[in-house]
Structure 1
Amino acid sequence: MYDAALPEVYGYLLARCGQRSLAEELTAETFLAAVEALRRRPPPGGLSTAWLVGVARHKLIDHWRRAEREERGLRLAGGLRSGDVEDPWDVRLDALLAREVLMDLAGHHRAALTLRYLDGLSVPEVAKVMGRTVHATEALLVRARRAFRAGYEESFGGKGDRDG
């Protein structure tokens, strides 16, 4: 099972975090969790590659939460005004710049956007994975999209290449 699942788990993590060393570390944690699960009596049903990818998703979210707590301790976070609302934004994103901007976001924003748009989970599914209410998750996604857009526009504008 390890040989079959390793490329799937590692690929899943690498595509979402963009850092080989972190993907390797989280892949190892994922398989350690699988070994622990197998040692339990009785072992969990449905032990499969899909189950391992689910464990990997949780490991990545846990990593982002830890990173966010560390970042929060180092900086003072600014918030949006309560009247801020999302507006339509239909722009083709450069994939490398988008990944760079995503990695610069706060951990909870990065996690929410990744689960919603890269993993394709519905808002209720994102809420369940992140341990939040649906309403809180919707608000988080609005703030995360705004933060992503601001970071992207700042990076894109900084290249002096906006109009061609």
Structure 2
Amino acid sequence: MDNELFMKLYGAYQKELYLYLYSLCRNRHQAEDLLHETFLKALLALPDGHTNMRAWLYMVARNLFYNQQKKRSKEILSKEQNVVPEDCEKGDLLENILAEESRRMLYRALQNLDLKKREIIQMQYFGGMSQKEIAAVLHITPENVRVLAYRAKKELKKDLEELKGE
């Protein structure tokens, strides 16, 4: 793979792949390491003329994560806390608090989904991938992706309504 193509791939997909990996491992440093391994594999092994590099990168990232998990005797489940800067004005502070609470509720609702549904939602909405691309990464049919996405959205809606009621 030539350097220019690699830099284009990195520029185009590094942020969304990082978010995807972070959502899987919930650890910033682990996600960064996996991201670098993913692009190293791309640099060393990506076949020339591959038709869907984005799906290939997601598949490599996912496989690296699960291979790493198999090697570990116990999972690392850490979550970083976001800190609101001291120089925020009161209106900004309230907006930040409300936005952060909404993100936490969404995060909790996503964690309640089973793994496959959670991955589909993350790839579809946070990665902007098509159902066909997701199907290729997860080795299922696009129809199965559509059904699982529909069910996941129903579950998310129900969970978010319950969380808002608490």
* TM-score after normalising by structure 2: 0.55
- Count of paired positions: 125
Q: Secondary structure at the match of 2:129?
A: coil
After TM superposition, give the deviation of residue 125 of structure 1 in Å.
3.1
Q: Distance in 1 between matches of 2:143 and 2:116?
A: 15
Q: How big is the shift at 1:113?
A: 0.8
User: Is residue 137 from structure 1 mapped to residue 145 from structure 2 by the alignment?
Assistant: yes
Q: Superposed, which structure 2 residues align to 1:9-20 within 5 Å?
A: 9-16=13-20, 17-18=22-23, 19=26, 20=28
The aligned residue for residue 90 of structure 1 is none
The answer to which structure, 1 or 2, has the higher relative contact order (CA under 8 A, 6+ apart) is: 2
Partner of 1:37: 45
Change (3 A) 1:149 1:60: farther
Q: Distance in 1 between matches of 2:66 and 2:113?
A: 10
Partner of 1:94: helix, strand, or coil? helix
Structure 1 distance, partners of 2:113, 2:142, is 21
SS for the counterpart of 1:146 is helix
Greater helix share, structure number: 2
Q: How does 1:62-141 map to 2 (within 5 A)?
A: 62=63, 63=65, 94-141=102-149
| TM-score normalised by length of structure 1 | 0.55
Q: CA RMSD for the aligned pairs?
A: 3.5
The 1:121–1:150 alpha-carbon spacing in structure 2 relative to 1, beyond 3 Å, is: same
Contact kept, 8 Å, 2:56 with 2:137, in 1: the verdict is no
Q: CA deviation at 1:8?
A: 5.2
Q: Which runs of 5+ in 1 are unaligned?
A: 39-43, 68-92, 159-164
1:3 Cα offset (Å): 6.9
